[in-house]
Amino acid sequence: MFPEFEVVPAVDVQDGQVVQLVGGERGTGKTYGDPVEAAEGWVEQGARTLHLVDLDGAFEGERENAAAIQSVVDAVDAETQLGGGIRTVEDAVGLLDAGIDRVILGTAAVENPDIVAEISEDHPESVLVSLDAKGGEVVVAGWTEGTGLDPAEAAARYEELGAGGILFTDVDVEGQLEGVRTEPVERVVEAVDIPVVASGGVATLADVRALKDAGAAAVVVGSALYEGAFTLDEALDAV
Protein backbone atom coordinates (compact mmCIF):
# COMPACT_ATOMS: atom_id res chain seq x y z
CA MET A 1 0.00 0.00 0.00
CA PHE A 2 1.52 3.28 -1.18
CA PRO A 3 5.09 2.15 -1.95
CA GLU A 4 5.75 5.76 -2.97
CA PHE A 5 4.14 8.97 -1.74
CA GLU A 6 0.88 9.63 -3.59
CA VAL A 7 -1.44 12.56 -4.10
CA VAL A 8 -4.94 11.06 -4.00
CA PRO A 9 -7.87 13.06 -5.41
CA ALA A 10 -11.08 12.91 -3.41
CA VAL A 11 -14.35 12.02 -5.10
CA ASP A 12 -16.93 12.62 -2.36
CA VAL A 13 -20.45 11.79 -3.51
CA GLN A 14 -23.69 13.24 -2.18
CA ASP A 15 -27.03 12.83 -3.96
CA GLY A 16 -25.15 11.34 -6.91
CA GLN A 17 -22.90 14.36 -7.40
CA VAL A 18 -19.33 15.24 -6.41
CA VAL A 19 -19.46 17.50 -3.35
CA GLN A 20 -16.85 19.08 -1.10
CA LEU A 21 -17.93 20.01 2.42
CA VAL A 22 -16.37 22.63 4.70
CA GLY A 23 -15.35 21.21 8.06
CA GLY A 24 -17.55 18.19 7.46
CA GLU A 25 -20.71 20.22 8.02
CA ARG A 26 -23.84 19.26 6.12
CA GLY A 27 -25.20 22.09 4.04
CA THR A 28 -21.78 23.60 3.35
CA GLY A 29 -21.14 21.60 0.21
CA LYS A 30 -20.18 22.88 -3.20
CA THR A 31 -21.06 20.64 -6.13
CA TYR A 32 -18.60 19.66 -8.86
CA GLY A 33 -20.61 17.50 -11.22
CA ASP A 34 -20.65 13.86 -12.24
CA PRO A 35 -18.47 11.46 -10.23
CA VAL A 36 -17.42 9.37 -13.23
CA GLU A 37 -16.33 12.44 -15.20
CA ALA A 38 -14.38 13.74 -12.21
CA ALA A 39 -12.72 10.38 -11.57
CA GLU A 40 -11.77 9.88 -15.21
CA GLY A 41 -10.27 13.36 -15.27
CA TRP A 42 -8.08 12.72 -12.24
CA VAL A 43 -6.84 9.41 -13.64
CA GLU A 44 -6.04 11.05 -16.98
CA GLN A 45 -3.95 13.59 -15.06
CA GLY A 46 -1.94 10.88 -13.34
CA ALA A 47 -3.82 9.74 -10.23
CA ARG A 48 -2.92 6.19 -9.25
CA THR A 49 -5.49 6.01 -6.45
CA LEU A 50 -8.90 7.62 -5.94
CA HIS A 51 -10.46 8.37 -2.57
CA LEU A 52 -14.21 7.73 -2.76
CA VAL A 53 -16.66 8.72 -0.04
CA ASP A 54 -20.40 8.15 0.16
CA LEU A 55 -21.25 11.28 2.14
CA ASP A 56 -24.88 10.30 2.55
CA GLY A 57 -23.71 6.95 3.86
CA ALA A 58 -21.38 8.62 6.34
CA PHE A 59 -24.20 10.70 7.78
CA GLU A 60 -27.04 8.20 7.58
CA GLY A 61 -25.16 4.98 8.29
CA GLU A 62 -26.33 3.31 5.08
CA ARG A 63 -24.75 3.52 1.66
CA GLU A 64 -26.90 5.83 -0.48
CA ASN A 65 -24.67 6.31 -3.54
CA ALA A 66 -23.69 2.73 -4.27
CA ALA A 67 -24.62 2.87 -7.95
CA ALA A 68 -22.73 6.10 -8.62
CA ILE A 69 -19.64 4.82 -6.85
CA GLN A 70 -19.73 1.45 -8.61
CA SER A 71 -19.88 3.34 -11.90
CA VAL A 72 -16.64 5.08 -10.94
CA VAL A 73 -14.95 1.81 -10.04
CA ASP A 74 -16.03 0.26 -13.35
CA ALA A 75 -14.90 3.28 -15.37
CA VAL A 76 -11.35 3.90 -14.16
CA ASP A 77 -8.07 2.02 -14.19
CA ALA A 78 -6.86 3.06 -10.77
CA GLU A 79 -6.88 1.79 -7.22
CA THR A 80 -9.91 2.86 -5.21
CA GLN A 81 -10.54 3.26 -1.51
CA LEU A 82 -14.10 3.78 -0.29
CA GLY A 83 -15.64 5.03 2.93
CA GLY A 84 -19.05 6.11 4.14
CA GLY A 85 -21.76 3.84 5.50
CA ILE A 86 -19.70 0.63 5.64
CA ARG A 87 -20.86 -0.91 8.90
CA THR A 88 -20.46 -4.70 8.70
CA VAL A 89 -18.00 -7.35 7.60
CA GLU A 90 -20.46 -8.36 4.90
CA ASP A 91 -20.61 -4.79 3.60
CA ALA A 92 -16.83 -4.58 3.42
CA VAL A 93 -16.23 -7.97 1.84
CA GLY A 94 -18.94 -7.35 -0.73
CA LEU A 95 -17.25 -4.12 -1.77
CA LEU A 96 -13.83 -5.74 -1.96
CA ASP A 97 -15.27 -8.55 -4.08
CA ALA A 98 -16.92 -5.91 -6.33
CA GLY A 99 -13.59 -4.30 -7.15
CA ILE A 100 -12.88 -1.79 -4.39
CA ASP A 101 -9.23 -2.12 -3.38
CA ARG A 102 -9.54 -0.80 0.17
CA VAL A 103 -12.46 -0.12 2.49
CA ILE A 104 -12.37 2.79 4.92
CA LEU A 105 -13.91 2.07 8.31
CA GLY A 106 -14.63 4.87 10.77
CA THR A 107 -17.73 4.53 12.90
CA ALA A 108 -17.80 0.74 12.48
CA ALA A 109 -14.21 0.37 13.67
CA VAL A 110 -14.83 2.53 16.74
CA GLU A 111 -18.03 0.73 17.69
CA ASN A 112 -16.62 -2.75 16.96
CA PRO A 113 -12.80 -2.79 16.71
CA ASP A 114 -12.77 -6.53 16.01
CA ILE A 115 -14.34 -5.85 12.61
CA VAL A 116 -10.87 -4.76 11.46
CA ALA A 117 -9.36 -8.11 12.40
CA GLU A 118 -12.25 -10.06 10.87
CA ILE A 119 -11.93 -8.38 7.48
CA SER A 120 -8.13 -8.34 7.48
CA GLU A 121 -7.87 -12.05 8.19
CA ASP A 122 -9.02 -12.96 4.67
CA HIS A 123 -8.27 -9.61 2.99
CA PRO A 124 -4.91 -8.40 4.33
CA GLU A 125 -4.01 -4.74 3.83
CA SER A 126 -7.54 -4.01 2.64
CA VAL A 127 -8.71 -1.94 5.62
CA LEU A 128 -7.94 1.73 6.14
CA VAL A 129 -9.17 2.79 9.57
CA SER A 130 -10.43 6.35 9.42
CA LEU A 131 -9.47 8.42 12.44
CA ASP A 132 -11.08 11.81 12.01
CA ALA A 133 -9.96 14.27 14.66
CA LYS A 134 -11.86 17.31 15.84
CA GLY A 135 -10.59 19.23 18.84
CA GLY A 136 -7.99 16.53 19.43
CA GLU A 137 -10.39 13.58 19.70
CA VAL A 138 -11.66 11.02 17.22
CA VAL A 139 -15.16 11.81 15.95
CA VAL A 140 -17.60 9.50 14.14
CA ALA A 141 -21.05 9.47 12.51
CA GLY A 142 -20.15 11.97 9.83
CA TRP A 143 -17.95 13.91 12.27
CA THR A 144 -20.93 14.66 14.53
CA GLU A 145 -20.15 12.54 17.62
CA GLY A 146 -17.09 12.63 19.86
CA THR A 147 -15.54 9.40 21.14
CA GLY A 148 -12.94 10.56 23.67
CA LEU A 149 -10.29 8.56 21.77
CA ASP A 150 -6.82 9.97 21.18
CA PRO A 151 -5.95 9.57 17.47
CA ALA A 152 -2.38 8.32 17.99
CA GLU A 153 -3.37 5.81 20.66
CA ALA A 154 -6.28 4.59 18.56
CA ALA A 155 -4.02 4.21 15.50
CA ALA A 156 -1.66 1.92 17.42
CA ARG A 157 -4.58 -0.20 18.58
CA TYR A 158 -5.89 -0.67 15.06
CA GLU A 159 -2.46 -1.58 13.76
CA GLU A 160 -2.43 -4.44 16.28
CA LEU A 161 -5.82 -5.54 14.96
CA GLY A 162 -4.50 -5.81 11.40
CA ALA A 163 -5.35 -2.49 9.77
CA GLY A 164 -3.42 -2.00 6.55
CA GLY A 165 -3.23 1.75 7.08
CA ILE A 166 -4.66 4.76 8.88
CA LEU A 167 -6.58 7.57 7.21
CA PHE A 168 -6.10 10.61 9.44
CA THR A 169 -8.35 13.59 8.76
CA ASP A 170 -7.87 16.88 10.57
CA VAL A 171 -11.53 17.91 10.61
CA ASP A 172 -10.78 21.32 12.12
CA VAL A 173 -9.15 22.43 8.86
CA GLU A 174 -10.98 20.15 6.40
CA GLY A 175 -12.29 21.86 3.28
CA GLN A 176 -11.30 25.36 4.36
CA LEU A 177 -8.32 25.86 2.02
CA GLU A 178 -6.41 27.53 4.86
CA GLY A 179 -3.48 25.13 5.20
CA VAL A 180 -2.53 21.98 7.07
CA ARG A 181 -1.36 21.25 10.59
CA THR A 182 1.53 18.80 10.60
CA GLU A 183 1.84 18.13 14.33
CA PRO A 184 -1.30 15.95 14.61
CA VAL A 185 -0.17 13.99 11.55
CA GLU A 186 3.31 13.47 12.97
CA ARG A 187 1.84 12.11 16.22
CA VAL A 188 -0.12 9.45 14.35
CA VAL A 189 2.81 8.60 12.05
CA GLU A 190 5.10 8.12 15.05
CA ALA A 191 2.59 5.80 16.73
CA VAL A 192 2.45 3.18 13.95
CA ASP A 193 4.52 1.35 11.36
CA ILE A 194 1.71 1.09 8.81
CA PRO A 195 1.03 3.80 6.20
CA VAL A 196 -0.74 6.96 7.32
CA VAL A 197 -2.80 8.81 4.73
CA ALA A 198 -3.31 12.47 5.63
CA SER A 199 -6.36 14.53 4.79
CA GLY A 200 -7.67 17.97 5.61
CA GLY A 201 -6.68 21.55 4.94
CA VAL A 202 -4.48 21.22 1.87
CA ALA A 203 -4.44 24.59 0.11
CA THR A 204 -1.02 24.87 -1.53
CA LEU A 205 1.79 22.76 -2.94
CA ALA A 206 3.73 23.62 0.19
CA ASP A 207 1.02 21.87 2.22
CA VAL A 208 1.45 18.72 0.14
CA ARG A 209 5.21 18.78 0.70
CA ALA A 210 4.74 19.46 4.42
CA LEU A 211 2.57 16.38 4.85
CA LYS A 212 5.08 14.24 2.99
CA ASP A 213 7.83 15.60 5.25
CA ALA A 214 5.65 14.82 8.27
CA GLY A 215 5.81 11.15 7.29
CA ALA A 216 2.49 10.64 5.55
CA ALA A 217 2.47 7.91 2.90
CA ALA A 218 -0.12 9.79 0.85
CA VAL A 219 -2.33 12.85 0.99
CA VAL A 220 -5.98 13.11 0.01
CA VAL A 221 -6.78 16.39 -1.74
CA GLY A 222 -10.26 17.63 -2.52
CA SER A 223 -11.20 21.30 -2.53
CA ALA A 224 -7.78 22.58 -3.60
CA LEU A 225 -7.90 20.51 -6.77
CA TYR A 226 -11.54 21.24 -7.55
CA GLU A 227 -11.06 24.97 -6.97
CA GLY A 228 -7.91 25.08 -9.11
CA ALA A 229 -5.47 26.12 -6.37
CA PHE A 230 -3.04 23.84 -8.18
CA THR A 231 -3.25 20.99 -10.66
CA LEU A 232 -2.68 17.33 -9.96
CA ASP A 233 0.31 17.44 -12.30
CA GLU A 234 1.82 20.26 -10.24
CA ALA A 235 1.22 18.37 -7.02
CA LEU A 236 2.83 15.21 -8.36
CA ASP A 237 5.81 17.21 -9.60
CA ALA A 238 6.14 18.92 -6.22
CA VAL A 239 6.77 15.63 -4.45
Q: Which residues are catalytic?
A: 12, 132
Instruction: Give the C-alpha separation, 145 to 205, whole Å.
Output: 32
Instruction: Find residue 121's DSSP bridge partners.
Output: none
- The residues near 150 (Cβ < 8 Å, ≥ 6 apart) are 136, 137, 138
What H or E segment, with its residue span, contains residue 132? strand 127-134
Contacts of 71 (CB under 8 A, 6+ apart): 35, 36
In the DSSP assignment, the letter for residue 206 is H
